[in-house]
């Protein structure tokens, strides 16, 4: 069994038959997420023969390649070379980031697991709404489903485990919480995360010219509104649910 | 317009091609046909490009009326098929004339049957492909009233058949270690390969549930690991250590750990295992896996040359149909569409 130590990172490992993953940590920290975003850009720029696709997770970069055009050994050597180039944890955040303020209903019938999450975080429901509603979080990665952001980091009190059983279905726009992060669901889905808030923001609009609303590096705040206000905003602004967007100063 | 008008259809029927590669960074998994071999077989039988879209039918087909003369091929899980009441051979290509009715019933074995059109199904592309991706909200299942429009068909050849590649009854599935395998104790990994699983009732294009007796297969501290990249074929353990094989329409990232990854060439066998069928997993080295994958690709490339003329003998077909009823792999009464016709054929 693996006994992970930060000193063992970064690591390059295989993913299935035709992929490699470069992991900066097994923990979520800002610097590791930045490192992943920057390294992915560098791998893309390097135009390595055989590489078909790259993507990032919270603290890792995935490289899919054609095993007829390259080999695991050759690609591992090329990626090791890139890794050695610089201290990737010092890399700057991407340019052109945006700040989204998103009206959110916490608790009640639209987000029934707020109380449970607040309990696990050791605070009252109202304190949880105040804390979550004030948090300014970053899109750490897009994944799981189209345009769907993982957001964080939240404070250590929110490092609560996923549920052992799946919630059968949460709706599109659901704000769910676990392991010091939010996810904002872009489609209705079963989940092991707890449904703490509901928004009207659609992160994926398949028929739009810009189908993916959010980008890795964007910042977000989910400020509390009443259910009545939320319903009014959703009717007025069916794609964004009243979310306001501005540029983040460089 | 040439195509098929959909009169009735099963609950999980959708247009599928190879899906959308290259969108992982946007959270879009590739998707595409659950049984890519069946997609390739259809292309070989119709002498056409391998990337055209076909109709994927999970468990049950539908009833269609031809608009114009067209060619079809039937591949994947064998289903009871008739054209104007006359039985049609599976794993074969056929000509269909304007106005004729095609009925495709329940799968006799396996899960996913495929209906291919000469020229492919010319559905609108979404994010670069025609594949419906329900988990991503791209498109929807086919339903009554839809028209499956055929693309331009350039040849006339029909009446070809391919030998059946048996993959519809579970069996042994080869797996490789992946980047999270060592989160599982060596004895857990060994026990996983020594366990005979049954395919559970929860199975779709996203994932296939594996059931077994006794202890689960959890990794230590698995509820708190970071979400990481998922690839199709990954075998994920949910919180209580119950395995799911993630299929082509799986999510792109996830936090439940994966014990290993099914070889892409063995994934159709997982997809095609019916509920309750047995599956076993065998660890192979990465080199052995890459060799196996290359051989499977070569085999797919040879499909076109393996097509043989279909022997059209109505007496034999009649016997086969009767045998299916008597043999009872699947009860004909499970299929409300075809019950009447089959009884007629049996008379």
A21–B179 CB contact, under 8 Å:
yes
Backbone CA torsion sign across B42, B47, B50, B52: negative
* CA A111 and chain centroid, separation: 20
Identify the pLDDT of residue B332: 38
Question: Percentage of residues in chain B with pLDDT exceeding 70?
Answer: 88
Judge contact between B310 and B160, C-beta under 8 A: yes
What does the pLDDT average to over A113-131?
Answer: 96
pTM of the model: 0.84
List all residues 6 or more positions away from A209 whose beta carbon is below 8 Å from its beta carbon.
none
Average pLDDT, chain B: 89
What gap in Å lies between CA A43 and CA A138, rounded to an integer? 23
pLDDT for B227 beyond 70: yes
Identify the pLDDT of residue B312: 63
Q: What angle do CA B297, B302, B305 make, to 5 degrees?
A: 165
Query: B231: which chain A residues are within 8 Å (Cβ-Cβ)?
Result: 15-16, 19
Kindly report, residue by residue over B8-57, the tens digit of the pLDDT: 999 999 999 999 999 998 899 999 999 999 999 999 999 999 999 999 99
Per-residue pLDDT band at B175 (split at 50, 70, 90)? very high
Identify the pLDDT of residue A202: 94
Among candidates A17, A59, A164 on the partner chain, residue whose Cβ is nearest the Cβ of B176: A17
CATH number of the structural domain A6-90: 3.30.1360.40
- In B213-304, the DSSP E strands lie at 228-229, 234-237, 243-246, 253-254, 258-262, 278-283
Closest CA–CA distance from residue B109 to any residue of chain A (Å): 29
Q: What are phi and psi of A216, to 5 degrees?
A: -55, 135
What does the pLDDT average to over A130-159?
Answer: 92
From the list A7, A39, A48, A46, the residue with the least C-alpha distance to A21 is A39
Q: What's the DSSP call for residue B91? A: S
CB-based burial, B164-182: b 16+ in 10 Å, e otherwise: eeebbebeebbbbbbbbbb
If one counts every other C-beta atom within 10 angstroms of the C-beta of residue A8, the result is 12
List all residues 6 or more positions away from B342 whose beta carbon is below 8 Å from its beta carbon.
B80, B321, B325, B332, B335
From the list B192, B167, B300, the residue with the least C-alpha distance to B242 is B192
Kindly report, residue by residue over A160-192, the tens digit of the pLDDT: 998 888 889 999 999 999 988 999 999 888 999
Query: A33: which chain B residues are within 8 Å (Cβ-Cβ)?
Result: none
Judge contact between B250 and B234, C-beta under 8 A: yes
Per-residue pLDDT band at A250 (split at 50, 70, 90)? low
Q: What's the DSSP call for residue B7? A: E
Per-residue pLDDT band at B172 (split at 50, 70, 90)? very high
Tokens coding A96: 């052109």
Instruction: Between A225 and A207, name the one with better pLDDT.
Output: A225
What does the pLDDT average to over B48-75?
Answer: 97
What gap in Å lies between CA B50 and CA B271, rounded to an integer? 20
Per-residue pLDDT band at A240 (split at 50, 70, 90)? very high
If you classify domain A98-247 with CATH, what class do you get? Answer: mainly beta
What gap in Å lies between CA B298 and CA B59, rounded to an integer? 29
Radius of gyration of chain B (CA): 20
Query: B18: which chain A residues are within 8 Å (Cβ-Cβ)?
Result: none
Which range among A41-55, A218-232, B35-49, B318-332 shows the weakest confidence by mean pLDDT?
B318-332
Strand partners, A91: none
Per-residue pLDDT band at A2 (split at 50, 70, 90)? low
B266 close to A (CB below 8 A): no
Identify the pLDDT of residue A209: 83
- In B190-286, the DSSP E strands lie at 197-203, 207-211, 228-229, 234-237, 243-246, 253-254, 258-262, 278-283
Q: Sketch the domain layout of chain A as residue ranges.
A: 6-90, 98-247
Identify the pLDDT of residue A153: 86
Identify the pLDDT of residue A28: 79
Size of interface A-B (CB pairs under 8 A): 154
A155 in helix, strand or coil? coil
Per-residue pLDDT band at A69 (split at 50, 70, 90)? very high
What does the pLDDT average to over B185-201?
Answer: 96
Residue of B nearest to A15 (CA): B178
Residue entry with tokens 């055209």 = B52
Identify the pLDDT of residue B209: 96
List all residues 6 or more positions away from B125 whose beta carbon is below 8 Å from its beta carbon.
none
Identify the pLDDT of residue B319: 45
Q: Is the peptide bond before B147 cis (omega within 30 degrees of 0)?
A: no
Helix (H) or strand (E) holding A114: helix A114-121
pLDDT for B343 beyond 60: no
pLDDT for A194 beyond 90: yes
CB-based burial, B218-256: b 16+ in 10 Å, e otherwise: bbeebbebbbbbbbbbbbbbbbebbbbbbbbbbbbbbbb
Instruction: Between B14 and B342, name the one with better pLDDT.
Output: B14
Per-residue pLDDT band at B342 (split at 50, 70, 90)? very low
A15–B178 CB contact, under 8 Å:
yes
Identify the pLDDT of residue B329: 40
Closest CA–CA distance from residue A66 to any residue of chain B (Å): 11
Domains of chain B: 3-163+313-346 (no CATH), 171-301 (2.40.100.10)
What does the pLDDT average to over A52-71?
Answer: 94
Chain B segment 92-151 residues within 8 A of A by beta carbon are 126-127, 135-138
Backbone CA torsion sign across B106, B109, B112, B118: negative
What gap in Å lies between CA A227 and CA A249, rounded to an integer? 32
What does the pLDDT average to over B77-98?
Answer: 97
From the list B72, B82, B92, B105, the residue with the least C-alpha distance to B2 is B72
CB-based burial, B272-308: b 16+ in 10 Å, e otherwise: bbbeebebebebbeeeebbebbeebeeebeebbeebe
Tokens coding A244: 């306001």
Per-residue pLDDT band at B235 (split at 50, 70, 90)? very high
Chain B segment 157-196 residues within 8 A of A by beta carbon are 176-179, 182-186
Whole-complex ipTM:
0.87
End-to-end CA distance of chain A: 43
From the list A53, A61, A54, A52, the residue with the least C-alpha distance to A80 is A61
What gap in Å lies between CA B243 and CA B210, rounded to an integer? 6
B226–A211 CB contact, under 8 Å:
no
What gap in Å lies between CA A180 and CA A126, rounded to an integer? 19
Tokens coding B162: 């391919």
Q: What's the DSSP call for residue B260? A: E
Q: Is the peptide bond before A153 cis (omega within 30 degrees of 0)?
A: yes
What does the pLDDT average to over B233-243?
Answer: 91
Kindly report, residue by residue over B95-149, the tens digit of the pLDDT: 999 999 999 999 999 999 999 999 999 999 999 999 999 988 899 999 999 999 9
pLDDT for A222 beyond 70: yes
What does the pLDDT average to over B173-185?
Answer: 95
């Amino acid at each position: 069994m693996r006994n992970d130590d930060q000193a063992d990172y970064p690591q390059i490992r295989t993913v299935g038959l035709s992929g490699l993953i470069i992991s900066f940590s097994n923990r979520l920290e800002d610097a590791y997420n930045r490192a992943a975003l920057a390294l992915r850009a560098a791998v893309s720029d390097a135009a390595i023969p055989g590489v078909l696709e790259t993507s990032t997770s919270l603290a890792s970069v995935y490289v899919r390649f054609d095993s007829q055009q390259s080999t695991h050994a050759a690609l591992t050597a090329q990626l090791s070379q890139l890794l050695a180039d610089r201290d990737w944890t010092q890399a700057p955040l991407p340019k052109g980031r945006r700040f989204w303020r998103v009206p959110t209903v916490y608790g009640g019938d639209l987000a029934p697991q707020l109380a449970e999450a607040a309990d696990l975080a050791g605070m009252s429901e109202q304190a949880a709404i105040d804390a979550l509603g004030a948090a300014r979080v970053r899109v750490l990665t897009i994944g799981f489903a189209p345009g769907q952001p993982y957001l964080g980091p939240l404070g250590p009190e929110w490092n609560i485990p996923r549920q052992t059983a799946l919630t059968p279905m949460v709706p599109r726009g659901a704000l769910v919480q676990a392991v010091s992060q939010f996810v904002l669901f872009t489609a209705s889905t079963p989940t092991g995360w707890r449904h703490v808030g509901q928004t009207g923001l659609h992160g994926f609009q398949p028929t739009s010219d810009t189908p993916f609303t959010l980008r890795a590096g964007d910042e977000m705040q989910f400020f509390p509104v009443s259910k009545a206000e939320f319903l009014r905003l959703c009717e007025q602004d069916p794609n964004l649910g009243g979310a306001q967007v501005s540029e983040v100063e460089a | 317009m040439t195509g098929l008008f959909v009169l009735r259809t099963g609950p999980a029927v959708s247009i599928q091609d190879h899906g959308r590669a290259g969108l992982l960074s946007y959270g879009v998994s590739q998707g595409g046909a659950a049984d890519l071999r069946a997609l390739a077989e259809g292309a070989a039988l119709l002498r056409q490009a391998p990337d055209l879209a076909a109709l994927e039918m999970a468990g049950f087909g539908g009833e269609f009326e031809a608009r114009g003369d067209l060619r079809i091929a039937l591949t994947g899980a064998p289903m009871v098929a008739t054209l104007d009441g006359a039985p049609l051979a599976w794993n074969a290509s056929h000509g269909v004339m304007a106005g004729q009715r095609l009925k495709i019933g329940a799968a006799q074995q396996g899960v996913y049957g495929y209906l291919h059109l000469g020229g492919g199904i010319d559905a609108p592309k979404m994010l670069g492909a025609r594949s419906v991706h329900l988990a991503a909200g791209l498109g929807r299942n086919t339903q009554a009233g839809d028209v499956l429009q055929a693309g331009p068909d350039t040849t006339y050849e029909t009446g070809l058949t391919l030998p059946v590649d048996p993959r519809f009854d579970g069996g042994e599935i080869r797996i490789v270690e992946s980047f999270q395998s060592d989160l599982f104790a060596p004895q857990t990994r060994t026990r996983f390969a020594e366990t005979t699983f049954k395919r559970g009732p929860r199975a779709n294009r996203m994932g296939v549930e594996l059931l077994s007796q006794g202890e689960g297969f959890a990794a230590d501290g698995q509820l708190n690991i970071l979400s990481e990249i998922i690839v199709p074929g990954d075998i994920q353990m949910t919180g209580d250590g119950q395995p799911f094989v993630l299929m082509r329409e799986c999510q792109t990232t996830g936090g439940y750990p994966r014990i290993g990854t099914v070889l892409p060439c063995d994934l159709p066998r997982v997809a095609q295992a019916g509920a309750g069928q047995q599956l076993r997993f065998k660890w192979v080295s990465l080199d052995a896996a890459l060799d196996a994958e290359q051989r499977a690709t070569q085999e797919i490339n040879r499909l076109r040359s393996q097509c043989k003329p279909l022997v059209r003998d109505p007496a034999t077909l009649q016997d086969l149909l009767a045998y299916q009823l008597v043999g009872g792999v699947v009860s004909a009464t499970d299929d409300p569409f075809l019950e009447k016709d089959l009884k007629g054929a049996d008379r």
